DNA sequence: TACCAGAGGAG
DNA sequence: AAATCCTCTGGTA
């Protein structure tokens, strides 16, 4: 690999767009230019393409108009390719062309120019980047906040920290005089110079990928505002351009030319399923250990005091943040190199895409190679119609509530992707003329898909799945752990893409949206799970539970486990014989014991004694830790120790502890997210009430998306909301014991204990004694 | 008691 | 800017 493509954009020279490609080579950055790529789109004729072509000739801004054939959903069509000189001219020109009497519509006029270039030239960013061993650096700012609130106009940046994957860690501070002997600290008297340090460091260390945590929405906007106040620029681009901030819906995105900026916050939110996404939470999830943390008032007093020991705390904290970012980057960046390659767009852009956009750019790239016309993005009214017309989803079995022993779990491997490729589920294959009713793949809801040709989307999905199998095979054989890791990341990326295909068909903003496809996929899914349940029952199994693509079974008679397993294998083989070739029911494992509460809420213990909990409070972030922990202990007592008495004692002891008033607030805090602006709530729950109070009294600002961490206090009030206060405003011990006993611990544990009634023989009558009154 | 809004999980 | 199904709480009438 001679060079790696990092970025693509265009500049304007004499009114003409010039593409720039940013390559990293062994000798540094190289910018290649292409002056010969012109913006274009397709005009679709009402009737005759040559008539439309004639109408287009001589129109101002039309450089060239030529008839050519493209493949549409309805088959080959003649279209007119319209070229113009500059991307900025496209919006007005496409409107004008679209209004011509001979023109039905325009297509592919809504693809950003630099992305269009990468697609048309089939260039792949990040190809071979691993061999280059790129320099990844993290940055972070601290602001001294003596006023308790943050005001970018008033409060300067006091610290700027930096760490990279070469072992450099340092921090620039807004203090003139040396305080510490720590060689990592640079003392800088002016904020202007402090801000400029970022650009100097990035250049000095020749950073390839700059990362941060929530840098899009905090650090970069803050730095840019402070830079403006200080009349300076934040030069980070390899062409010496400043970092650029873009409004993207509700959020901001920031981009650097050439070297790529990745905000790990958005990356991590997609990749990990954890209750909270603060930097320390994510670091703990990855590293398995806690990160140094400081409270806001500690930070303020340490900065104000200026004592060496206090200042050292600040330095350590600030550096621990950027070092944590490097740890996170090291674990997630490989997958994002791969996603950038699959999506075919620069890392900075692909890392900020959701699943829908990723699928779309992947499909657009494939469509180009097959001369397929890319459908337009839907207009607002169409999006509204799609949203107002949801697609029926999966089937969930009402569980046989209570305790069960010797449970077997089966599930369909990649159910939805395998349905798509097995039945050729593709918008272009819908209701074809070439197949009779009998010949076509007819979905349970009556949609017919061609059985003679193969759809473009169903085919690329098949290729993805086959590629993944091939890579997994190579991965297994590979001995070198580093190469193994790369294969693993490749197969993960393909899995992510394949699993997004169904969601994409039902995504209201999708170009290739297809209600018929989405409904057919879930329709087939429901059919297969229903048939599997029937077959299991016919084979003598009891179906305890099932959801979408999984079934939990048990054999009701008391026969040896070995015989049950044999019957299970026979059942599975029979099911698989009937299934299309790409589909497969797999045996996932067995569980000695489980308790099923309701749909999507149950717990299982495996052969090693490991507890799996689904949907119950233990798994929810909007329940207090004390309720979650007690529920988990009770589940273990029942499923692992088979000892309901122990469960009862756990609950009694916890309640005593709560009553004593000595439970730390950490175990009582409830985390609930604001999912809209505070003024937009019709119903005011406790978290909203707590947030409102804190905003009124403390001058804090909780916007859309903020996590509210509150305590139900012992303060007077009728509603729970009256007693709810954000944790920062509550003293230890100031909590409402009755609330935590009656509304947190008891509901959580009783849900589990009440299920015991279903197997009284095992409980030897003890279940009956455990009612709410006994406590 | 019945109903709604809201949150967050499962697959 | 991927989808739907589902349970449960707190507030209100």
Closest of A299, A325, A287, A323 to residue A170, by C-alpha:
A323
A90: enclosing H helix or E strand:
helix A90-99
Q: What is the pLDDT of residues A100-139, one digit of tens each?
A: 999 999 999 999 999 999 999 999 999 999 999 999 999 9
Residue A660 CA to residue A733 CA, distance in Å, equals: 9
Question: Strand B and chain A: which residues 162-201 have CB closer than 7 Å?
Answer: none
Report CA(A6)–C1'(C5) in Å, whole number: 42
In contact, A626 and A654? CB cutoff 8 Å: yes
A683 beta carbon < 7 A from strand B? yes
A526 beta carbon < 7 A from strand B? no
pLDDT at A376 over 90: yes
A549 beta carbon < 7 A from strand B? yes
Instruction: Tell me how crowded residue A13 is: count the other CB atoms within 10 A of its CB.
Output: 10
Which residues pair with residue A457 across a beta bridge? none
Q: What is the pLDDT of residues A479-527, one digit of tens each?
A: 999 999 999 999 999 999 999 999 999 999 999 999 999 999 999 999 9
Burial class (CB in 10 A: 0-12, 13-18, 19+), A660: exposed
pLDDT at A65 over 50: yes
Q: What is the pLDDT of residues A388-398, one digit of tens each?
A: 999 999 999 99
Higher pLDDT, A774 or A175: A175
Report CA(A42)–C1'(B9) in Å, whole number: 45
- Mean per-residue pLDDT for A146-161? 90
Q: What is the mean pLDDT of chain A?
A: 93
Report CA(A631)–C1'(C5) in Å, whole number: 24
Q: What is the pLDDT of residues A624-642, one digit of tens each?
A: 999 999 999 999 999 999 8
pLDDT at A761 over 50: no
Report CA(A78)–C1'(C4) in Å, whole number: 39
SS3 state at A566? helix
Report CA(A531)–C1'(B2) in Å, whole number: 37
Q: What is the pLDDT of residues A529-540, one digit of tens each?
A: 999 999 999 999
Query: Taking the C1' atom of C11, which residue's CA lies nearest?
Result: A683
Across the beta sheet with A185-187, the strand order is: A185-187, A169-173, A157-164, A136-143, A209-212, A260-263
Q: Model confidence at A141, in pLDDT bands (50, 70, 90)?
A: very high
Q: What is the pLDDT of residues A284-336, one digit of tens each?
A: 999 988 888 888 888 888 988 889 999 999 999 999 999 999 999 999 999 99
Q: Residue A649's Cα: distance from chain center in Å? A: 41
Q: Model confidence at A73, in pLDDT bands (50, 70, 90)?
A: confident
pLDDT at A707 over 80: yes
Nucleotides of B under 7 A from a protein CB: 4-11
Instruction: Tell me how crowded residue A671 is: count the other CB atoms within 10 A of its CB.
Output: 18
Report pLDDT for A757: 63
Helix A415-422 / helix A481-505 crossing angle, nearest 10 deg:
70
Residue A747 CA to residue A735 CA, distance in Å, equals: 18
Query: Taking the C1' atom of B4, which residue's CA lies nearest?
Result: A683
Q: What is the pLDDT of residues A422-449, one digit of tens each?
A: 999 999 999 998 999 899 999 999 999 9
Report pLDDT for A361: 97
Q: Closest nucleotide to A683's CA, by C1' atom? A: B5
Q: Give per-residue burial for A597-627: e unless 16+ CB within 10 Å, then b.
A: beeebbbbbbeeeeeebbebbbbeeebbbbb
Residue A168: which region, alpha, beta or left (left: phi > 0; alpha: psi -120 to 50)? beta
In contact, A51 and A60? CB cutoff 8 Å: no
Q: Model confidence at A46, in pLDDT bands (50, 70, 90)?
A: very high
Report pLDDT for A545: 96
SS3 sequence, A164-216?
Answer: ECCCCEEEEECCCCCCCCCCCEEECCCHHHHHHHHHHHHHHCCCCEEEECCHH
Across the beta sheet with A611-614, the strand order is: A542-547, A550-554, A402-412, A585-598, A601-605, A611-614
pLDDT at A706 over 80: yes
Q: Closest nucleotide to A509's CA, by C1' atom? A: C1
List, in sequence order, the alpha helices (H) in A18-71: 49-56
pLDDT at A767 over 50: no
Report CA(A723)–C1'(C11) in Å, whole number: 14
Query: Taking the C1' atom of B5, which residue's CA lies nearest?
Result: A683
pTM: 0.93
Q: How far is CA A759 from CA A84, A344, A404, A405, in A?
A: 76, 56, 8, 10
Report CA(A682)–C1'(B5) in Å, whole number: 7
Report CA(A715)–C1'(C8) in Å, whole number: 26
Six-digit token string for A665: 């607030």
């Amino acid at each position: 690999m001679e060079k790696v493509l990092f970025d693509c954009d265009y500049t304007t020279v004499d009114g003409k767009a010039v593409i720039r490609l940013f390559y990293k080579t062994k000798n540094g950055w190289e910018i290649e230019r292409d002056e010969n790529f012109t913006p274009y789109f397709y005009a679709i004729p009402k009737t005759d393409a040559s008539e439309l072509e004639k109408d287009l000739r001589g129109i101002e801004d039309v450089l060239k108009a030529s008839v050519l054939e493209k493949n549409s959903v309805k088959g080959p069509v003649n279209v007119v390719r319209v070229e113009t000189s500059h991307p900025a001219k496209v919006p007005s020109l496409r409107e004008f062309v679209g209004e011509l009497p001979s023109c039905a519509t325009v297509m592919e006029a809504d693809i950003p120019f630099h992305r269009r270039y990468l697609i048309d030239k089939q260039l792949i960013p990040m190809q071979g980047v691993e061999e280059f061993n790129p320099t990844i650096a993290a940055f972070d700012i601290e602001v001294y906040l003596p006023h308790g609130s943050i005001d970018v106009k008033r409060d300067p940046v006091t610290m700027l920290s930096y760490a990279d994957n070469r072992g450099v860690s340092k921090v620039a501070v807004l203090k003139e005089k040396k305080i510490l002997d720590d060689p990592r600290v640079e003392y800088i008297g002016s904020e202007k110079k402090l801000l400029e340090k970022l650009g100097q460091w990035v250049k000095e260390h020749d950073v390839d990928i700059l990362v941060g945590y929530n840098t899009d929405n905090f650090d970069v906007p803050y730095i840019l505002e402070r830079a403006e106040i200080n009349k300076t620029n934040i030069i980070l681009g390899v062409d010496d351009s400043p970092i650029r901030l873009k409004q993207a819906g509700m959020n901001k995105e920031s981009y650097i030319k050439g070297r790529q900026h990745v905000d790990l916050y958005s990356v991590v939110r997609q990749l990990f399923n954890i209750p909270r996404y603060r930097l320390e939470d994510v670091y703990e999830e990855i590293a398995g250990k806690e990160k140094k943390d400081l409270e806001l008032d500690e930070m303020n007093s340490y900065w104000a005091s200026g004592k060496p020991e206090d200042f050292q705390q600040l330095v350590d904290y600030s550096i621990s943040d950027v070092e944590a970012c490097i740890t996170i980057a090291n674990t997630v960046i490989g997958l994002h190199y791969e996603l950038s390659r699959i999506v075919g767009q620069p890392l900075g852009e692909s890392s900020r895409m959701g699943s829908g956009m990723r699928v779309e750019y992947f499909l657009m790239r494939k469509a180009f190679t097959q001369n397929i016309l890319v459908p337009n993005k839907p207009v607002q009214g169409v999006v509204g119609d799609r949203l107002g017309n949801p697609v029926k989803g999966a089937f969930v079995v009402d569980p046989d509530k209570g305790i069960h022993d010797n449970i077997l779990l089966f599930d369909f491997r990649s159910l939805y992707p395998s349905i798509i490729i097995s039945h050729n589920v593709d918008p272009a294959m819908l209701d074809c003329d070439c197949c009779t009713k009998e010949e076509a793949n007819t979905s349970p809801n009556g949609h017919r898909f061609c059985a003679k040709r193969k759809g473009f989307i169903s085919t690329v999905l098949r290729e993805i799945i086959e590629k993944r199998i091939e890579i997994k095979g190579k991965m297994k054989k590979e001995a070198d752990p580093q190469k193994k890791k790369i294969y693993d990341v490749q197969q993960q990326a393909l899995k992510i893409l394949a699993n997004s295909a169904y969601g994409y068909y039902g995504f209201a903003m999708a170009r290739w949206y297809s209600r018929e496809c989405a409904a057919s996929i879930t329709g087939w899914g429901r059919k297969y799970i229903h048939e599997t349940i029937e077959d299991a029952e016919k084979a003598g199994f009891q179906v305890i539970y099932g959801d979408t693509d999984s079934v939990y079974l048990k054999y009701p008679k008391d026969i040896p486990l070995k015989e049950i397993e044999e019957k299970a294998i026979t059942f599975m083989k029979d099911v698989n014989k009937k299934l299309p070739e790409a589909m497969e029911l797999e045996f996932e494992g067995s569980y000695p014991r489980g308790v099923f509460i309701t749909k999507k809420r149950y717990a299982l213990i495996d052969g090693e004694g490991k507890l799996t909990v689904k949907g119950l409070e233990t798994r929810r972030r909007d329940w207090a830790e004390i309720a979650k922990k007690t529920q988990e202990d009770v589940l273990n007592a029942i499923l692992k120790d088979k000892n309901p008495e122990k469960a009862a004692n756990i609950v009694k002891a916890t309640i005593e502890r709560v009553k004593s008033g000595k439970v730390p607030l950490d175990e009582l805090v409830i985390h609930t997210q604001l999912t809209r602006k505070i003024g937009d709530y019709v119903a005011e729950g406790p978290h909203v009430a707590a947030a409102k109070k804190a905003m009124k009294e403390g001058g804090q600002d909780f916007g859309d998306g903020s996590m509210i961490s509150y305590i139900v206090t012992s303060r007077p009030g009728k509603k729970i909301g009256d007693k709810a206060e954000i944790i920062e405003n509550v003293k230890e011990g100031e909590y409402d014991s009755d609330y935590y006993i009656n509304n947190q611990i008891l509901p959580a544990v009783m849900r589990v204990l009440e299920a015991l009634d279903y197997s009284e023989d095992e409980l030897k009558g003890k279940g009956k004694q455990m009612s709410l009154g006994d406590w």
